[in-house]
Amino acid sequence: MIFLAADIGGSRARLLLGETRPGGWRELRRVVWNSPDFPDLESLLAAFLAPGEQPTAACLALAGPVQGRQVPMTNLPWVLDADALEARFQIQELCCINDFEAQAHGLPLLAETDLRTLQPGQPDPHGPRLLIGAGTGLGMALLAGPEHAPLILPSEAGHMDFAPRDEQQLALLRHLQPRHARVSLELLLSGHGLERLYGFLAGLPAGTLPAPRAAPSISAAALAGEPQAAAAVDLFARLLAAAAGNLALASLPRGGVYLSGGIAPRILPFLLQPAVRAAFTDKPPMRTLLEQLPLQVVLNEYLGLLGAASVAARLTGEARP
């Protein structure tokens, strides 16, 4: 049977058409498009599906809280109606899940080459795993249970409060509070967050983004050795690791902590610095506990799409993950 999978973020839409086969599924084709280029998801799916392609099942991974069959996107002006999409494309069963829930479904499908270890720790193969990802927004999910019956807990932990750790970070908080009042993790640990950090270090007023320096160009300049860009990415890496450590204390993911999303792989040399690992573990009296947790970067940008595909394949009733 044919199935459809999609991972829809505020910046990118990744879509896959697959086919079930005994013991699993195979990919037929995939595309990556810019989400804002489309007025709604119906238009995007209509552009992707060729005449005669009729998926039996579909799984849509969406960047935002998913509750019920109508889902507003967090970083896009879209409201999705799952029942309307089922009827429009004659799909027998269509499910919507949080994008980080989809990424958690994809974790068991990763190969060793899809990961880069920042801290080996002492992994418990039966322990829960924590997934944190920075991109257009900041997401988090927990994966527990056996592979054949995974328990996945999505969350909106990216909107938790920012907790400064030193004088520089206190200055950053004071810099942003007059404009934003409440400074969340996502305000800093996202694409626009990196731009805000760059603007803060450049002495720009709060709310002034460093146009035309978007996050990708800041990352590229940092890797090329530009001091101000490197300082911004270095701060971003330490803030991400510190947030991961805090979330790890809340969930005790003895199976490992995974940093995913579009930004982490691009700034890998900065994440490999000792100061980043220290930001993750330096939380006395829990330093020893945090040093026991594996910390890894997910290099595969299609993690969410793989997870959505595994869910869609199961919906056909003919494949297992």
Does residue 77 have a cis peptide bond before it, meaning omega lies within 30 degrees of 0? no
Pair 76, 11: CB distance under 8 Å: no
Query: Exposure of 252 by Cβ count < 10 A (0-12 exposed, 13-18 middle, 19+ buried)?
Result: middle
Amino acid at 23: G
Does residue 123 have a cis peptide bond before it, meaning omega lies within 30 degrees of 0? no
Render 74-143 in DSSP notation, one character per residue.
Answer: SSSS-EEEHHHHHHHHT-SEEEEEEHHHHHHHHGGG--GGGEEEEE-----TTS-EEEEEESSSEEEEEE
Closest CA to 129 of 103, 111, 161, 148: 103
229-to-96, 164, 169, 218, 233 alpha-carbon distances in Å: 38, 21, 17, 5, 6
Where in the chain is CATH 3.30.420.40?
2-105+303-315
| Lookup result for tokens 């494309």 | 89
Report the C-alpha gap between 129 and 236 in whole angstroms.
23
Other CB atoms within 10 A of residue 171 CB? 12
Where in the chain is CATH 3.40.367.20?
111-299
Residue-wise pLDDT for 61-79, tens only, equals 998 778 889 888 877 888 8
Integer-rounded Cα radius of gyration of the chain: 20
pTM for the model stands at: 0.88
Phi, then psi, of 143 in degrees rounded to 5: -120, 125
Which fold would CATH assign to domain 2-105+303-315?
Nucleotidyltransferase; domain 5 (3.30.420)
124-to-9, 90, 138, 146 alpha-carbon distances in Å: 31, 43, 26, 13
Residue-wise pLDDT for 142-169, tens only, equals 999 887 788 999 888 999 999 999 999 9
Name 11's Cβ contacts closer than 8 Å, sequence gap at least 6: 34, 35, 36, 75, 135, 136, 191, 262
User: pLDDT (tens digit, 0 to 9) for every residue of the chain, 321 residues total?
Assistant: 999 999 998 889 999 999 998 878 999 999 999 999 999 999 999 999 998 889 999 999 998 778 889 888 877 888 889 999 999 999 999 999 988 899 999 998 999 999 999 999 999 999 999 999 998 889 899 999 887 788 999 888 999 999 999 999 999 999 999 999 899 999 999 989 999 999 999 888 776 666 557 889 999 999 999 999 999 999 999 999 999 999 999 999 999 999 999 899 999 999 999 999 999 999 999 999 999 999 999 999 999 999 999 999 999 986 554
Tokens standing for 154? 């999505």
Report the C-alpha gap between 222 and 227 in whole angstroms.
7
Which fold would CATH assign to domain 111-299?
Hexokinase; domain 1 (3.40.367)
